[in-house]
Amino acid sequence: MSDETTATPETAIGKGSELGETMIELQELTKRFPGQEEPAVDRLTLKIPKGEIVVFVGPSGCGKTTSLKMINRIIEPTSGHIIIDGEDVTDIDPNHLRRRIGYVIQQIGLFPHIRIGDNVATVPQLLGWDKERTSQRVDELLEVVGLPPDQYRERFPKELSGGQRQRVGVARALAADPPVLLMDEPFGAIDPITRTRLQNEFLRLQSELQKTIAFVTHDIDEAIKMGDRIAILQEGSKVAQFATPEEILTNPANEFVEDFVGTGATLKRLKLTRVREVQASEALTGRTDEDRDALRKRFEESEWTAMLLLDPDHKPLRWLRGSDLRSSRPLEKLGLPARAYVEPQATLSDALEEMLLGSAGVAIVVDRGGAYQGLLDIDGIITSIQAMRDVDAEFYRAAKLADPEGEVSV
């Protein structure tokens, strides 16, 4: 395994390709299920750096979920060691171990008989926190996952949608502020639109929390989007490649990885760039609380063909054309509704999709509260694809210079 990672040429491309301080270390971790000839996980050795999301991805039956569930010993390993933050936890009391590790599963598994607030309070209660501290923490977390505590704390799981339930699942896993999170296809059973939103929100959360996360998915696109590092697993949890998403896309270690990543690597790389990393352009804006004649004057004196109408809180409402402001109808009813919103942490791929759906060729960048920040258009995306290609070309040149005989195939 370590041979494969060191075989990859050292490059400056990508985020954090140097392995930092290790938080979770798996040593020769093996699981044999009774009655099966081949081990489900065969001597998996892997280091998960502190504060990173490491995604285990691979075809079904490759042992990725079994590998994950051995970390909190929901599945007891047959042999090998699990080291968390320098401590060998292979043989300690599993219940105490699990209270230090957040756990999120695809089927969520909220406790149906107790309220949302009590669900989130589970681990703090197990750890013996006092009531006040627990209830403050519950409210704080519900707020963090976008479920106002006043509205949701007293509800029951069945009264929530799938997406809301998984938000609670994430809040519950974070309740006692564990340094490590295990996530088993956490967004797998959620409809695509909500999934994208949850992924983006989770990434924003992670940028604040800096947890060490092991994340399982079968979806390479999700792996590329969520992972600081990806472990592509073959049967028996054999690591085919362990690298940053950029390295995997630009330099797959072998044919298996290449096949698994599939075609359309450029499109996939759009998932690696966030909207905030691209220069957003400005639009001509006007607010509903401004004087209509002033708006019209500003519009006519500008060179713009459209004006984005915002509400007093700067939330985008409508696209107006020049002639619209001459009509006497209320401002809120003029022009066309403004669609295609993206948040700064959305990927360029999300933005492109929104543009295509909105059929305006632009996406409106809004902050978390929905207030206008700027515009992103197709040209902006093309520019960033061009930039990626330039970086690649640089990389080939550097690799060739370093090893003129070597073959670099991408």
Partner 1 sequence: MAFFTEYLADPRTRSALLEQALEHVYLTAIPVLVAVVLGLFLGILAHRSPQLRSPILSVVSTLLTIPSLALFAILIPIVGIGAGPAIIALTLYALLPIVRNTVSGLFSVDNAVIESAKGMGMSATMRLWKIELPNAWPVMLAGIRVATLLTVGIAAIAALVGGPGLGQEIFTGIRRIPATGSLESLLGGTILIVVLAVLFDLLYLAIGRLTIPRGIRE
Which of the ranges 57-65, 151-159, 194-202, 378-386 carries the binding residues for partner 1, by CB under 8 A?
Answer: 151-159
Contact 72, 182 (CB under 8 A): yes
Least distance (Å) from partner 1 to the CB of residue 125?
10
Least distance (Å) from partner 1 to the CB of residue 208?
23
Nearer to partner 1, 26 or 381 (CB): 26
β-pair type (41-49, 22-31): antiparallel
Which of the ranges 130-138, 150-158, 192-200, 245-253 carries the binding residues for partner 1, by CB under 8 A?
Answer: 150-158
Give the 3-state DSSP-derived string for 116-141, with helices as H, strands as E and coil as C. HHHHHCHHHHHCCCCHHHHHHHHHHH
Least distance (Å) from partner 1 to the CB of residue 218?
18
Q: By CB under 8 A, name the one of 137, 172, 271, 274 that touches partner 1.
A: 172
Contact 134, 120 (CB under 8 A): no
Nearer to partner 1, 35 or 112 (CB): 112
Burial degree of 133 (CB within 10 A; 0-12, 13-18, 19+): exposed
Q: Which of residues 359-378 bind partner 1 (CB under 8 A)?
A: none
Nearer to partner 1, 74 or 284 (CB): 74
Nearer to partner 1, 186 or 252 (CB): 186
CA distances from 214 to 24, 36, 265, 273 (A): 9, 26, 24, 21
Question: Nearest 5 degrees, angle CA 121-CA 123-CA 128?
Answer: 90
Least distance (Å) from partner 1 to the CB of residue 127?
9
| Max CA pair span of the chain | 80
Please work out the total of residues on this chain that contact partner 1, with binding judged by CB under 8 A. 29
Least distance (Å) from partner 1 to the CB of residue 122?
5
Burial degree of 192 (CB within 10 A; 0-12, 13-18, 19+): exposed
Nearer to partner 1, 113 or 329 (CB): 113
| Cα(209)–Cα(140) distance, integer angstroms | 14
| Cα(247)–Cα(410) distance, integer angstroms | 10
Which of the ranges 152-160, 314-322, 356-364, 389-397 carries the binding residues for partner 1, by CB under 8 A?
Answer: 152-160
Contact 47, 86 (CB under 8 A): no
- Per rule CB under 8 A, is residue 34 in the interface with partner 1? no
Neighbours of 201 (CB within 10 A): 18
Q: By CB under 8 A, name the one of 156, 209, 235, 298 that touches partner 1.
A: 156
Least distance (Å) from partner 1 to the CB of residue 126?
6
Which of the ranges 10-18, 24-32, 118-126, 326-334 carries the binding residues for partner 1, by CB under 8 A?
Answer: 118-126
At position 274, the amino acid (one-letter code) is R
Q: Which of residues 180-239 bind partner 1 (CB under 8 A)?
A: 182
Q: Which of residues 58-117 bind partner 1 (CB under 8 A)?
A: 72, 74, 94-99, 101, 103, 105, 107-115
Least distance (Å) from partner 1 to the CB of residue 103?
3
Backbone angles phi, psi at 24, to 5 degrees: -120, 130
Nearer to partner 1, 94 or 148 (CB): 94
Structure tokens at 42: 């065969």
Least distance (Å) from partner 1 to the CB of residue 179?
15
Least distance (Å) from partner 1 to the CB of residue 76?
12
Nearer to partner 1, 10 or 91 (CB): 91
Helix (H, G, I), strand (E, B) or coil at 212: strand
Helices (H) and strands (E) in the chain, counts: 16, 17
Helix (H, G, I), strand (E, B) or coil at 26: strand
Q: Is the dihedral of CA 160, 166, 167, 171 positive or negative?
A: positive
Which of the ranges 15-23, 153-161, 191-199, 265-273 carries the binding residues for partner 1, by CB under 8 A?
Answer: 153-161
Q: Which of residues 233-292 bind partner 1 (CB under 8 A)?
A: none
| Cα(242)–Cα(5) distance, integer angstroms | 6
Which of the ranges 54-62, 122-130, 239-247, 352-360 carries the binding residues for partner 1, by CB under 8 A?
Answer: 122-130
Q: By CB under 8 A, name the one of 63, 157, 236, 316 that touches partner 1.
A: 157
- List residues binding partner 1 (CB under 8 A): 72, 74, 94-99, 101, 103, 105, 107-115, 122-123, 126, 156-158, 169, 172, 182
